[in-house]
Structure formats: C-alpha cells, structure tokens
Structure 1
C-alpha cells in the first residue's frame, strides 16, 4: 500500500491501486444497483467518491517502448561489462581492470538507490538496478580472473547469485531478484553436475528445486508478493521438467550418483519445507508437500528402466509410459488448480503447454512404433480430449468453490505482483 493524502483532506489515506477494468466493472455494477433501487443516487455518489480516493487506477504500460528500451539497454550494458572481463581488457593491469569494473558497479548500485529515494520513474530505477545486478557478476568474474581462478567454476555463479539476491532483499527490488533467481537456478544445476554428471541427478535436482521454490513461495506470501509470485513460477516449471526428464526412457540407467552438493540440495529443500510448515501453517503447506511427491515420483520413474529399443516394446514399456503420462496429467491438473486458487495464470499456461509437449513426446517416442499413422493422432487426440475435460472440470469446481459464500477462506486468492520496479 502507498500512503497518499486524499483530495481535500489533510490526513493520509491508505490507497491500493487496482486495474482499470476492475474500476469499470464496479461503476457498471453501481449503475445497475441504482437503477434497480438497491442503493440511492446519494449512496452511489458516496461510494464512487470513496472508490476514487482509495483505489486509484493502476496503469502498468506492460509493453511501453520506453520500458522495453531501458531494460534492453541495461541488459546489453551489463552483458557488455562481463564480456569486457572475458576479453581481459589487455590494455589495463589486473588491478586497474578490477578497480574500473568495481567503480562502475558501485556507481550503478548507489545510483539506483538514489533514484529510488527520489521517486524517479520506475523503469529508470529498474534499469539502473539491473545494471548493478549484472555489474556484480562482472566484478566477481574480474576478481576471479585476477586471482587466477577459472571463470567456468560454478562457485562464481553461486557468489553472483548470493550477491544479487542480497541486493534484492535489502531493497525489495524486482530486477536484481530476477537476476539472482536466474543465476541461482543456474548454480543449482552446475555445482552438483560439476562433480557427478548423471541423468537421474538432473531429475532429483529439478524435483528438489521445485520443493525449495514452492516452500520459498509460501514463506514469501503476504510478505513480498512479487518474490512469492516468481518462486511459485519457478516451482511449477521445475516440477514439470522433473517429470518430463524422468519419463525419458533409460534416463536413470546409471542409478543415483550421490555427491555432497546433491545432498546439500536435498537438505536445503527439506529445511525450507519445514520452515514453511512452521511459519505458514495451514493449507499452504500442501504446495511444498506436493512438490515432495513430485520429487519422489520423478525419482522412482527415473529409476524404472525399461530399455531404449523402440522396435521391441513390451508391457513394461507400455506401463512405464502410461504411468508417466498419468503422473504428468495429475501434476498438470494440480498446477491448474493452484494457478486458479492463487490467481497465478502462468502456472495454468505452463501446465497446459507442458502437458501437450510431454504427451506428444511420449506418443512419438513410445507409442509410435506400435500405433502408427492416422491412429497415432486419433490416440493422441483422445488423450488431449480427456485431459481437456479434466482441466475444464477442475476449473469449474474451483470457480464454484471460490464464489462468495463458499468454503474458500479469505485471502485465498492473493493478487498478482505489481508490475513496477522500486
């Protein structure tokens, strides 16, 4: 909420920006209630005045050219700084290179916060903060280069992620947070695979990542909504990818290659889930627990090896594919339900797109040698029709449950994060 003085009043009135379409809907309803005699003209006027004071229209300008160019420019400059480090800046000594990059990073870091404190344009603040987040990576890689540390080591990406996430949480800034999440997810896979590259390791890392991200989303609910929104999106994507990779025939033929970092990843996921259960007791804990089920299911499916010879498909291959598809359908329907409950459309879209891709992959990889030609498309279409029915049924049930007067508790549908960068 923003504290802004109400028109004609000396006291500050808490406001909450809302989408223009919501205001239009409310005005239409007020006119309808007035015409039906439910409320009087005077009451309608008072309500309209109150709404105008408390709920100003919020214009995101999602595709504003200025915002696009600012963020693209910041991204290009930030990547350019890292590229300069990679090019080694041969004309400067190692100390001069480091000091130059560090000075630029500090200028962006301090400049972004100064602009934010002066309430500068949100896209401008976001662009400068993005430069600071990318500049942090340039500083880390330049320092490593000066210390003769190989630039491809995963720990450098991990340090970059820690630095940008720290910046994001101190300032509640979205752009550094997105950079931190991106580099953090990259490190999440790079570090364990650095020690033990293995197909089932990838599956377990995706599953554990889904658990960790889901738990963090729950912990951020009603605290930093924009961060919760991002963590929830990461959790859904990781869960879908975990089951997708696990269903690839013979992906787990080498078994589980345990390493210190894989154990650390699983422990972090477990600790985050426990913290979510203690801090946010109630139905929300079902999110990380559902991700735990996905982790276990993906690991078991990955361990179930049936061979890769598509010319000799037996009952075990059919059972493996059928159970994989069933598990994926259940996950997709669960994500649709969660997306509806949390007012999180990306989860719904990811679930639908992922299910289409997964079912198509399974059909052509496993069923195609047996069900060929037009019949393959008939079978595939039948699966999609059945899945569509489940999706529609889940949507209708949730919509009915979330109607006023239903058992859905208050606050069950938090709003999506604001599109501004501060």
Structure 2
C-alpha cells in the first residue's frame, strides 16, 4: 500500500539579532528544566528563528551600498564637471536615462523578491541619480548649482520615492538632503548664531512630530526621525550655550518663518491625530526650542578673563538644561527601545560638559583642579543616569527587577 501522505512543509524561520536568539534559547532551557514545556516543544520553538548577524554585516551588503553610493556621487560629479563635449540636451537625456534605469531596475528587483542588499543598492542609485537629473536640468537652464532650492527639490524627489515604495535607502537620501536644505535655505538670507539655534530647535520639533506620526505606520522611518530630533535638540542647546553666540540678535527672514510655521503645523497634526503620550515628544522639543533661543539671545560677553555673575548664571542654566534634556532622551530611549538616543545623550553630555568647563569655568578653576571637578561631575552624572535607568526599567516591567539587578556591574 502506497503512503500518499505528504511530508509536513518546513516552517519559514524568522531572523533575529544574535543576543535575542541567545536569550530565547536560555529561557527555553529554563522552561524545559522547570517542566513548563517539553524538549520537543523547545526544539520546535528554537527552530523557528535564526541569527541575522551575518546578514547585517556581510561584506556583500557593504560593497553593494558603497558601490551604489560611489556611482551616484560620480554621476553628480560628472554633471558638475559640465561634460562640455556633449550638448545640454544630450547630457540631460543621458543622466535621465540612467536614473530611469536605476529606478525601474530597483523596483523590478523588489517585485521579484531579489536580495534586499541588491534592491537597496539599486534604489540608492535611483535616489542619487535623481539629484544628478535635477542638477543637470538646472545647469541646462543656467541656474547656479549652489542654489539651496536644488537641494530642496532633490529631497522632495527622494522622499516621494521613499514613501511610495517604503524604501529605506531613498528615505535616508531624503533625510540627508532635506536636513541640508533646512539649514541652507534660511541661512542664505541671514547668517547669525541665533538663526542656527532656531533652525536646530525647530528642526527638532518637526522631526519629533514626524516620528510620532510615523509610529505604527512606518516604524523604520519613525526611528530615523526620532534620531534626527534628538540630535537637533542636543545641538540646539549646545550652540545656544556658547557664550555670546547670539550677540547679533535674531534676523527673521521669510524662510525662517516658514521653517517655524512648518514645525508648528506638524506638531498640531501630531497632537490631533495621535492623542497619546507620544505627543510629549514634540511638546518637549518645543520647550528645548524656547530654552535654546532664550539662552542664545542672552548676551554675557566673550571676555574669558573677567567672568562675572551673568556668565556663571548663563553657564549654570545651560548645564542644567542640557542635563535635563539628556535625561529625557535617556528615558525616551529606554521607553522606545531606541539605544541610539541613549548613546547620543551620554556622548553629548560628555562633550558639552567638557566644552563648558574649558570655555567658561577654566579661567576660575585652573590646572589639575579643573580635571578633578570635571571628573566629579562625570561620576555624579553617571551615577544619576544609571540609577534613573534602573528605576525606569523597573517601572516599565516590575517582573524584570531581579533580571535587571543581575550583571549590571559588567
């Protein structure tokens, strides 16, 4: 009698980070030893996952992305070189054809479920090629290549590509070019320290609002927007704390007003759409913007040989504000499981405290004592950071109290 039963289909495995897989196997061993599950069940659960460590750091992936980046930059460079041997129409047609080939090729590869690194490289080429098309068209129309609006158009094109395809590489190109335009366009009209502070603060507000709007929609994009928001907030307070950074006052221009209005509009949309605790992120960014702008407009002078009470007050308030921001970012990074925010906050605090110590306090506390004071500040801040992190983790998951307390001195 012939056995007509078909073999059970193999289950597709899911890639997870190596430390997550190690944790799962450790827990499975504990559950098996305690009789919660059987050995066969533990083996079946473990077989559903595999480590994605090698896929993340594969040489092939790195080379594909590097190759795509070099080719894309090379195309823009060729446009900048003017290609005098070709007519403007021929140059534009050649660059546009290459861009269309990369764009269509990348989406064709994605439709055929090709290797993700290969698809990402093709999409990166398309996003960079869009910039080459824009600069070539501008060159043909006798528009100067250094105009900020060309960067803005490039960012818009990259974002459209990214959101239509949910692709990360065009999105990263859009973020880089968009942030570049965010500063280039307003500073084209007025260059002063307070304008930079306002742009950094307003950029943090906009990015925070976009991160909240992307939560649950495109989580990968939300992660990037949240990183940009944290970086801009830290940079805004850093620049604002520089003594006499805004001595020239604030010059309002049309584009600066537009930047602030866009950030405000994004915050309103986030508050209306989300109606959750996530709206605290853009609201906190607004507090950073107001604090940084006030510190920048507070002129205390630049004479480091005569530090008076105003200098001490400006420095002290700046340090307190920066520490509060760093603690808030650490808390946000813990809640959102966003380690990049935590590391940015800690590194930013070290750099900021060091800069403030040598720029403001060095004329008073000199020599070896400066390092003693600075080291004491770092030790105290580190203790507070670690204590706050433990208490936050315990508050989020009380069942993890025993686990969190183990190995924290490693």
TM-score w.r.t. length of structure 1: 0.90
Contact 1:219 1:276 in 2 (8 A): yes
1:298-313 aligned within 5 A = 298-313=292-307
Correspondence for 2:25 among 2, 24, 27: 27
Q: Which runs of 4+ in 1 moved over 6 A?
A: none
Deviations 1:139-182 (A, max 9, x none): 00000000000110100000000000100000011000000000
Name the counterpart of 2:379: 385
Name the counterpart of 1:79: 73
Deviations 1:372-398 (A, max 9, x none): 001111111121122112211211111
Deviations 1:343-363 (A, max 9, x none): 111111111111111111111
1:124-163 aligned within 5 A = 124-163=118-157
Q: Note if 1:221 corresponds to 2:215.
A: yes
The number of residues matched between the two structures is: 394
Contact 1:212 1:272 in 2 (8 A): yes
Contact 1:306 1:317 in 2 (8 A): yes
Deviation at 1:51, TM superposition (A): 5.6
Correspondence for 2:85 among 79, 83, 91: 91
Name the counterpart of 1:319: 313
Mind listing any 5+ residue stretches in structure 2 that lack a counterpart?
A: 1-6, 401-410
Correspondence for 1:199 among 187, 193, 201: 193
Deviation at 1:79, TM superposition (A): 0.7
SS of match in other structure, 1:254: coil
Correspondence for 1:45 among 33, 36, 40: 40
Distance 1:21 1:360 in 2: 34
Correspondence for 1:252 among 246, 255, 259: 246
Deviation at 1:206, TM superposition (A): 0.2
SS of match in other structure, 1:343: coil
Contact 2:25 2:46 in 1 (8 A): no
Deviation at 1:65, TM superposition (A): 1.2
Correspondence for 2:361 among 338, 351, 367: 367
Mind listing any 5+ residue stretches in structure 1 that lack a counterpart?
A: 1-6, 407-422
Deviation at 1:45, TM superposition (A): 2.4
Contact 1:164 1:180 in 2 (8 A): yes
Contact 1:212 1:288 in 2 (8 A): yes
Distance 1:394 1:159 in 2: 44
Deviation at 1:34, TM superposition (A): 2.5
Distance 2:350 2:170 in 1: 33
Deviation at 1:66, TM superposition (A): 1.0
Distance 2:113 2:194 in 1: 49
Distance 1:242 1:305 in 2: 16
SS of match in other structure, 2:295: helix
Q: Note if 1:395 corresponds to 2:393.
A: no
Contact 1:27 1:48 in 2 (8 A): no
Contact 1:333 1:390 in 2 (8 A): no
Deviations 1:57-87 (A, max 9, x none): 4446332211111111111111110111111
Contact 2:13 2:47 in 1 (8 A): no
Contact 1:79 1:134 in 2 (8 A): yes
Contact 1:250 1:305 in 2 (8 A): yes
Deviation at 1:323, TM superposition (A): 0.7
Name the counterpart of 1:354: 348
Distance 1:231 1:368 in 2: 37
Distance 1:369 1:90 in 2: 58
Deviation at 1:31, TM superposition (A): 2.3
Distance 1:279 1:327 in 2: 30
Q: Note if 1:18 corresponds to 2:16.
A: yes
Distance 1:253 1:179 in 2: 35
Change (3 A) 1:381 1:142: same
Contact 2:18 2:52 in 1 (8 A): yes
Distance 1:59 1:365 in 2: 43
Q: Note if 1:185 corresponds to 2:187.
A: no
